[in-house]
Protein backbone atom coordinates (compact mmCIF):
# COMPACT_ATOMS: atom_id res chain seq x y z
CA UNK A 1 0.00 0.00 0.00
CA UNK A 2 1.36 3.37 -0.99
CA UNK A 3 -0.09 6.51 0.49
CA UNK A 4 1.02 9.94 1.73
CA UNK A 5 0.50 9.85 5.50
CA UNK A 6 0.28 13.11 7.39
CA UNK A 7 3.60 14.68 8.30
CA UNK A 8 4.94 15.02 11.84
CA UNK A 9 3.33 18.22 13.07
CA UNK A 10 5.24 19.42 16.13
CA UNK A 11 8.07 18.81 18.60
CA UNK A 12 6.07 16.50 20.87
CA UNK A 13 5.12 14.27 17.97
CA UNK A 14 8.76 14.11 16.87
CA UNK A 15 9.85 13.22 20.41
CA UNK A 16 7.17 10.55 20.47
CA UNK A 17 8.39 9.18 17.14
CA UNK A 18 11.99 8.99 18.38
CA UNK A 19 11.08 7.16 21.59
CA UNK A 20 8.67 4.82 19.82
CA UNK A 21 11.35 3.96 17.29
CA UNK A 22 13.54 2.64 20.09
CA UNK A 23 10.62 0.83 21.71
CA UNK A 24 9.49 -0.84 18.49
CA UNK A 25 13.04 -1.71 17.46
CA UNK A 26 13.68 -3.30 20.86
CA UNK A 27 10.65 -5.55 20.34
CA UNK A 28 10.98 -6.37 16.64
CA UNK A 29 14.77 -6.83 16.40
CA UNK A 30 14.81 -10.65 16.53
CA UNK A 31 18.60 -10.98 16.07
CA UNK A 32 17.90 -14.43 14.64
CA UNK A 33 20.09 -13.78 11.59
CA UNK A 34 23.15 -13.19 13.80
CA UNK A 35 22.47 -16.34 15.78
CA UNK A 36 22.12 -18.34 12.55
CA UNK A 37 25.40 -16.96 11.20
CA UNK A 38 27.25 -17.91 14.39
CA UNK A 39 25.77 -21.42 14.33
CA UNK A 40 26.63 -21.85 10.64
CA UNK A 41 30.25 -20.95 11.37
CA UNK A 42 30.40 -23.34 14.33
CA UNK A 43 28.55 -26.12 12.50
CA UNK A 44 25.78 -26.25 15.11
CA UNK A 45 23.21 -25.33 12.44
CA UNK A 46 23.21 -29.00 11.38
CA UNK A 47 21.85 -29.95 14.81
CA UNK A 48 19.19 -27.22 14.60
CA UNK A 49 17.94 -28.37 11.20
CA UNK A 50 17.77 -32.04 12.20
CA UNK A 51 15.86 -31.47 15.43
CA UNK A 52 12.29 -32.86 15.45
CA UNK A 53 11.05 -29.27 15.78
CA UNK A 54 10.39 -26.82 12.96
CA UNK A 55 13.36 -24.47 12.62
CA UNK A 56 11.02 -21.61 11.71
CA UNK A 57 8.78 -22.51 14.67
CA UNK A 58 11.80 -22.51 16.98
CA UNK A 59 12.78 -19.10 15.61
CA UNK A 60 9.26 -17.86 16.35
CA UNK A 61 9.64 -18.92 19.97
CA UNK A 62 13.02 -17.25 20.31
CA UNK A 63 11.72 -14.05 18.71
CA UNK A 64 8.68 -13.99 21.00
CA UNK A 65 10.77 -14.55 24.12
CA UNK A 66 13.33 -11.97 23.07
CA UNK A 67 10.67 -9.44 22.15
CA UNK A 68 8.92 -9.78 25.51
CA UNK A 69 12.24 -9.54 27.35
CA UNK A 70 13.30 -6.35 25.58
CA UNK A 71 9.81 -4.89 25.94
CA UNK A 72 10.11 -5.20 29.72
CA UNK A 73 13.80 -4.28 30.01
CA UNK A 74 14.01 -1.51 27.39
CA UNK A 75 10.60 -0.67 25.93
CA UNK A 76 8.52 0.06 29.02
CA UNK A 77 11.26 2.04 30.82
CA UNK A 78 11.69 4.16 27.67
CA UNK A 79 7.96 4.89 27.57
CA UNK A 80 7.97 5.94 31.24
CA UNK A 81 11.08 8.09 30.75
CA UNK A 82 9.68 9.68 27.62
CA UNK A 83 6.34 10.48 29.25
CA UNK A 84 7.81 11.92 32.46
CA UNK A 85 10.75 13.89 31.12
CA UNK A 86 10.35 14.58 27.40
CA UNK A 87 6.67 15.01 26.68
CA UNK A 88 6.10 11.76 24.82
CA UNK A 89 2.46 11.66 23.75
CA UNK A 90 -0.01 8.82 24.34
CA UNK A 91 -1.71 7.22 21.32
CA UNK A 92 -4.14 9.51 19.54
CA UNK A 93 -6.99 7.23 20.65
CA UNK A 94 -7.56 3.96 22.46
CA UNK A 95 -8.30 2.33 19.09
CA UNK A 96 -4.97 3.60 17.75
CA UNK A 97 -3.24 2.15 20.80
CA UNK A 98 -4.76 -1.28 20.21
CA UNK A 99 -3.96 -1.16 16.50
CA UNK A 100 -0.41 -0.08 17.34
CA UNK A 101 0.02 -3.25 19.43
CA UNK A 102 -1.35 -5.43 16.64
CA UNK A 103 0.78 -3.67 14.04
CA UNK A 104 3.90 -4.11 16.18
CA UNK A 105 3.16 -7.85 16.51
CA UNK A 106 2.87 -8.10 12.73
CA UNK A 107 6.12 -6.16 12.47
CA UNK A 108 7.81 -8.86 14.55
CA UNK A 109 6.60 -11.50 12.08
CA UNK A 110 7.82 -9.47 9.11
CA UNK A 111 11.24 -8.97 10.72
CA UNK A 112 11.41 -12.65 11.62
CA UNK A 113 10.77 -13.64 8.00
CA UNK A 114 13.49 -11.27 6.83
CA UNK A 115 16.00 -12.45 9.42
CA UNK A 116 15.49 -16.21 8.98
CA UNK A 117 15.59 -15.93 5.19
CA UNK A 118 18.69 -13.77 5.24
CA UNK A 119 20.40 -15.74 8.00
CA UNK A 120 20.07 -19.07 6.22
CA UNK A 121 21.02 -17.49 2.89
CA UNK A 122 24.52 -17.07 4.36
CA UNK A 123 24.60 -20.88 4.43
CA UNK A 124 25.58 -20.65 0.75
CA UNK A 125 27.88 -17.62 0.95
CA UNK A 126 29.68 -17.91 4.32
CA UNK A 127 30.30 -14.15 4.06
CA UNK A 128 27.50 -13.05 6.29
CA UNK A 129 29.18 -10.42 8.45
CA UNK A 130 29.72 -7.74 5.80
CA UNK A 131 26.43 -8.51 4.10
CA UNK A 132 24.76 -8.40 7.51
CA UNK A 133 26.05 -4.89 8.16
CA UNK A 134 24.66 -3.74 4.82
CA UNK A 135 21.34 -5.45 5.60
CA UNK A 136 21.16 -3.80 9.02
CA UNK A 137 21.67 -0.30 7.60
CA UNK A 138 19.27 -0.90 4.71
CA UNK A 139 16.44 -2.11 6.93
CA UNK A 140 16.95 0.68 9.47
CA UNK A 141 16.98 3.32 6.74
CA UNK A 142 13.97 2.08 4.79
CA UNK A 143 11.97 1.17 7.90
CA UNK A 144 11.97 4.77 9.11
CA UNK A 145 14.09 3.95 12.16
CA UNK A 146 16.72 6.54 11.23
CA UNK A 147 14.58 9.16 9.45
CA UNK A 148 10.77 9.24 9.29
CA UNK A 149 9.68 8.19 5.81
CA UNK A 150 7.68 11.43 5.51
CA UNK A 151 10.99 13.28 5.18
CA UNK A 152 12.15 11.23 2.18
CA UNK A 153 12.09 12.81 -1.29
CA UNK A 154 9.30 11.44 -3.45
CA UNK A 155 11.37 8.98 -5.49
CA UNK A 156 13.04 7.51 -2.39
CA UNK A 157 9.73 7.32 -0.53
CA UNK A 158 8.27 5.36 -3.44
CA UNK A 159 11.06 2.78 -3.05
CA UNK A 160 10.50 2.56 0.71
CA UNK A 161 6.75 2.10 0.24
CA UNK A 162 7.28 -1.04 -1.83
CA UNK A 163 9.78 -2.68 0.53
CA UNK A 164 8.84 -4.76 3.61
CA UNK A 165 10.94 -2.75 6.05
CA UNK A 166 8.38 0.03 6.59
CA UNK A 167 6.02 -2.59 7.99
CA UNK A 168 8.43 -3.22 10.87
CA UNK A 169 8.81 0.30 12.31
CA UNK A 170 7.08 3.10 10.43
CA UNK A 171 3.61 1.61 10.08
CA UNK A 172 3.09 0.88 13.82
CA UNK A 173 4.37 4.32 14.83
CA UNK A 174 2.33 6.10 12.16
CA UNK A 175 -0.81 4.41 13.51
CA UNK A 176 0.10 5.38 17.10
CA UNK A 177 0.79 9.01 16.13
CA UNK A 178 -2.27 9.40 13.95
CA UNK A 179 -0.21 9.80 10.78
CA UNK A 180 -2.26 6.83 9.58
CA UNK A 181 -5.90 7.44 10.61
CA UNK A 182 -7.61 4.59 12.45
CA UNK A 183 -10.13 4.09 9.66
CA UNK A 184 -7.27 3.53 7.17
CA UNK A 185 -5.19 1.32 9.46
CA UNK A 186 -6.79 -2.04 8.44
CA UNK A 187 -5.44 -1.63 4.91
CA UNK A 188 -1.92 -1.11 6.27
CA UNK A 189 -2.30 -4.06 8.63
CA UNK A 190 -3.32 -6.19 5.65
CA UNK A 191 -0.10 -5.19 3.88
CA UNK A 192 1.90 -6.14 6.98
CA UNK A 193 0.12 -9.49 7.17
CA UNK A 194 0.82 -10.15 3.48
CA UNK A 195 4.52 -9.43 3.96
CA UNK A 196 4.59 -11.60 7.09
CA UNK A 197 3.02 -14.56 5.27
CA UNK A 198 5.16 -14.16 2.15
CA UNK A 199 8.45 -13.73 3.97
CA UNK A 200 7.84 -16.61 6.36
CA UNK A 201 6.90 -18.89 3.46
CA UNK A 202 10.18 -17.85 1.87
CA UNK A 203 11.95 -18.64 5.16
CA UNK A 204 10.38 -22.12 5.24
CA UNK A 205 11.52 -22.70 1.65
CA UNK A 206 15.09 -21.66 2.46
CA UNK A 207 15.05 -23.99 5.49
CA UNK A 208 14.10 -26.92 3.24
CA UNK A 209 16.85 -26.03 0.77
CA UNK A 210 19.38 -25.81 3.60
CA UNK A 211 18.22 -29.21 4.90
CA UNK A 212 18.76 -30.78 1.47
CA UNK A 213 22.20 -29.19 1.24
CA UNK A 214 23.14 -30.82 4.54
CA UNK A 215 21.92 -34.20 3.26
CA UNK A 216 24.05 -33.86 0.12
CA UNK A 217 27.18 -32.77 1.98
CA UNK A 218 26.71 -35.34 4.71
CA UNK A 219 25.90 -38.21 2.39
Per-residue confidence of the chain (219 residues) as pLDDT tens digits? 555 565 666 777 888 899 999 889 888 877 777 777 777 776 676 676 667 677 667 777 777 787 788 888 888 888 888 888 888 899 999 999 999 999 999 998 898 888 888 877 776 666 566 677 778 888 889 999 888 898 899 899 999 999 999 999 999 999 999 889 999 999 999 999 999 999 988 888 877 776 666 544 444
- Residue 217 pLDDT: 47
Q: Where are the alpha helices (DSSP H) in the chain?
A: 11-28, 32-42, 45-50, 55-70, 76-85, 94-125, 128-143, 154-161, 170-177, 185-218
Within 8 A by CB and 6+ apart from 112, the residues are 30, 32, 59, 60, 63, 199, 200, 203
Q: What is the pTM of this model?
A: 0.84
- Residue 125 pLDDT: 66
Of 76, 120, 88, 64, the residue nearest 15 (C-alpha): 88
Amino acid sequence: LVGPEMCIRDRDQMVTYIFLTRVVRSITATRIDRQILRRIRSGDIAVDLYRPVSFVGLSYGQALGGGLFFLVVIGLPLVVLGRLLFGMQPPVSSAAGLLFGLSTALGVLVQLGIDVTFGLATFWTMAGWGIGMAKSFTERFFSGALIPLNFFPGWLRSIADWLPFRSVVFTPIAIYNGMIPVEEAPAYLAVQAAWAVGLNLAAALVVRRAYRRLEVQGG
